[in-house]
């Protein structure tokens, strides 16, 4: 990459002015298109697919099991080291390492979206699950390469901030297509048309890869690098790598085995989460963290700049050296910088987004279903409330989060985001219980009048029968208000979480560390979905919303502790190690 240090004269310009000047760069247009490409398969698999399955009669418990295919998003850090410094794809070398992989994965995802269009989920639920599994491996791989590209092409702090904002805007715009627009099309033209349409948008988004510049750093690999590897005794390297590989392999086998059994003989999701869930978290997070801590504090591992081929005589030795550098260097860097604070960081990554991560797969069953306290709306209702008002609210929440961070600081907003994300679960609980509180609020504020007017304008409510129209309008107003509030809170919390994780990550290890922490934000919520699906069928949606509210309080307490920790350490554990290597 080019030097990231701005010219002194440029620094005298207002930050906002520098950001607007950066918008003229083709990297920004590419960022929007690439993030749009990233959001389409995610929305189609974890959103549209669940709506489709609900409409054809698949039960919440089965949807909960199928949602485990999204484990790819939670575990993408397992293969992130492969793409820290990737080789270009054969046949696409002229595009460079980052862009060639992005293009290949986008082509694969386009084909998989077309498969959704021709499969009958009732007759071929196994095939649907298999395709969703492949998407959940390809799509997060595309995301982690995109994150690395975004970090590597940024030339300044303004670039990073602007590209992060464009990433969210492009991702949410894709959500608008796979949500509001797609649900309306499904009502009129059917699901086959919808998935072909989404695949068509994916083809358009591929233009972002062709527009994007290739990062200079990926085209100029260095023969020397800083690593913890040379500072450690040779005899400790092999057992550390083998233990890490074995723990990750066992965890993945446990997940795959459960998905196969659940689709076959109906294995219990509750038992899986209660008995195997903690082991999966331990194997994928605690084991590598413990080994890294041992290497840093017991064996005094430290960063040494050395030739990448040093101490690697045989092919086996070179393999272990490469695996160690790819996997343990990022983990050990976190340990050395954060020390005991790494426990808080990992716990926050695991719990902060739990309330929305675990609930996402059951949003459509709650909105569209008739059982367990669901509220029985139509696809058009949900499209208007969730994928129109909801997307707008998420963008507004993200803007609010950015403004608050600029005025209050990162950690106060991080704390506030945890509170509002948990509290909005109570709005859903009220909706499931009959909406007494929501009706009172609507009556006091008279918000139902403009909300119902919008529904009439959208063509949902036919006011020929005044009584029926009033009832339809009230129900839709409740839904729009609840989803709007929840997405405002979610957008604010997402911006706060992104800013927090960015402050923790060392740019030198961005591909692995960001993938690790971002993946962990989905892990507990993903593991909890099968249990939650069974709980919905046993106790109903109201009970589940109360449970998720209290579980959201865990992240609030942890964020308060982390705020206190960072107040005692003004650096917040920021990277001090060889950041110039990424410039």
More confident site: 510 or 270:
510
pLDDT tens figures, 223-241: 456 778 888 887 888 898 8
Cα 69 to Cα 446: distance, rounded to the nearest angstrom: 43
Res. 1: pLDDT tops 50: no
Beta bridge partners of 224: 307
CA-to-CA dists, residue 205 to 35, 40, 136, 173, 291, angstroms: 9, 9, 19, 12, 41
CA 148 to chain centre: 15
Cα 567 to Cα 305: distance, rounded to the nearest angstrom: 32
Cα 309 to Cα 305: distance, rounded to the nearest angstrom: 12
Cα 484 to Cα 394: distance, rounded to the nearest angstrom: 8
Structure confidence at residue 80 (pLDDT): 82
Res. 10: pLDDT tops 70: no
More confident site: 273 or 144:
144
Structure confidence at residue 33 (pLDDT): 92
Cα 102 to Cα 111: distance, rounded to the nearest angstrom: 15
Which pLDDT band holds residue 466 (cuts at 50, 70, 90)? very low
Mean pLDDT for 572-578 is 45
Q: Which of 84-98, 191-205, 520-534 has the lowest mean pLDDT?
A: 520-534
For strands 304-307 and 224-227, give the pairing: antiparallel
Radius of gyration of the chain (CA): 24
3-state secondary structure of 304: strand
Cα 83 to Cα 240: distance, rounded to the nearest angstrom: 21
Where does 154-265 have alpha helices with state H? Answer: 157-176, 182-189, 191-205, 207-211, 216-219, 234-265
Res. 319: pLDDT tops 70: yes
Please, are residues 228 and 302 in contact by the beta-carbon 8 Å criterion? yes
pLDDT tens figures, 373-428: 888 877 777 777 777 788 888 888 877 887 787 778 778 989 999 999 999 989 99
Q: Which of 5-9, 84-88, 245-249, 312-316 has the highest mean pLDDT?
A: 245-249
305, containing H or E segment? strand 304-307
């Amino acid at each position: 990459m080019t030097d990231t240090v701005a010219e002194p004269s440029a620094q005298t310009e207002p930050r906002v002015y520098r950001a607007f000047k950066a918008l003229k760069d083709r990297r920004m247009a590419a960022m929007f298109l690439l993030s749009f490409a990233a959001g389409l398969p995610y929305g189609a698999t974890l959103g549209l697919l669940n709506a489709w399955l609900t409409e054809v009669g698949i039960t919440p418990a089965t949807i909960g099991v199928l949602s485990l295919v999204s484990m790819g998003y939670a575990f993408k850090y397992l293969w992130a080291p492969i793409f820290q410094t990737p080789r270009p794809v054969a046949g696409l070398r002229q595009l460079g390492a980052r862009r060639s992989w992005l293009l290949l994965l986008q082509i694969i995802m386009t084909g998989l979206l077309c498969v959704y269009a021709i499969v009958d989920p009732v007759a071929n639920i196994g095939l649907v699950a298999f395709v969703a599994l492949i998407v959940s491996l390809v799509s997060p791989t595309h995301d982690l390469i995109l994150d690395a590209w975004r970090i590597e092409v940024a030339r300044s702090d303004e670039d990073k901030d602007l590209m992060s904002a464009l990433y969210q805007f492009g991702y949410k715009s894709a959500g608008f297509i796979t949500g509001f627009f797609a649900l309306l099309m499904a009502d009129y033209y059917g699901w086959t048309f919808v998935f072909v349409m989404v695949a068509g948008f994916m083809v358009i988004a591929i233009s972002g890869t062709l527009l994007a510049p290739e990062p200079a750093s990926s085209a100029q690999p260095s023969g020397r690098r800083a690593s913890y590897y040379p500072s450690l005794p040779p005899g400790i390297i092999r057992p550390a790598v083998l233990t890490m590989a074995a723990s990750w392999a066992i965890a993945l086998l446990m997940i795959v085995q459960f998905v196969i059994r659940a689709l076959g003989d109906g294995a219990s999701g509750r038992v899986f989460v209660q008995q195997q869930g903690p082991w999966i978290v331990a194997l994928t997070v605690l084991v590598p963290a413990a080994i890294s801590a041992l290497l840093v504090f017991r064996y005094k591992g430290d960063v040494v700049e050395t030739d990448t081929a040093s101490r690697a005589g045989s092919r086996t030795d070179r393999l272990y050296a490469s695996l160690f550098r790819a996997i343990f260097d990022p983990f050990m860097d976190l340990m050395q910088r954060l020390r005991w604070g790494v426990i808080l960081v990992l716990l926050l990554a695991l719990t902060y987004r739990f309330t929305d991560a675990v609930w996402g797969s059951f949003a459509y069953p709650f909105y569209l279903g008739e059982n367990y306290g669901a509220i029985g709306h139509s696809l058009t209702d949900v499209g208007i409330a969730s994928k129109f008002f909801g997307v707008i609210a998420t963008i507004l929440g993200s803007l609010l989060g950015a403004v608050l961070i600029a005025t209050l600081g990162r950690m106060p907003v991080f704390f506030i985001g945890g509170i509002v994300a948990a509290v909005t679960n109570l709005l859903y609980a009220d909706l499931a219980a009959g909406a007494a509180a929501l009706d009172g609020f609507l009556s006091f504020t008279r918000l139902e009048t403009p909300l119902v007017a919008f529904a009439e304008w959208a063509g949902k409510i036919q006011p020929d029968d005044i009584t029926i129209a009033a009832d339809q309008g009230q129900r839709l107003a409740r839904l729009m208000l609840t989803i709007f509030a929840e997405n405002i809170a979610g957008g604010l919390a997402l911006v706060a979480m992104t800013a927090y994780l960015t402050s923790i990550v060392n740019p030198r290890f961005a591909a692995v560390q960001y993938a690790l922490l971002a993946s962990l934000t989905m892990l507990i919520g993903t593991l909890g979905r099968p249990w939650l699906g069974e709980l919905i069928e046993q106790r109903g949606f109201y009970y589940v919303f109360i449970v998720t509210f209290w579980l959201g309080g865990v992240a609030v307490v942890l964020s308060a502790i982390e705020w206190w920790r960072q107040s005692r350490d003004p650096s917040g554990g920021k990277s001090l190690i060889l950041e110039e290597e990424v410039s």
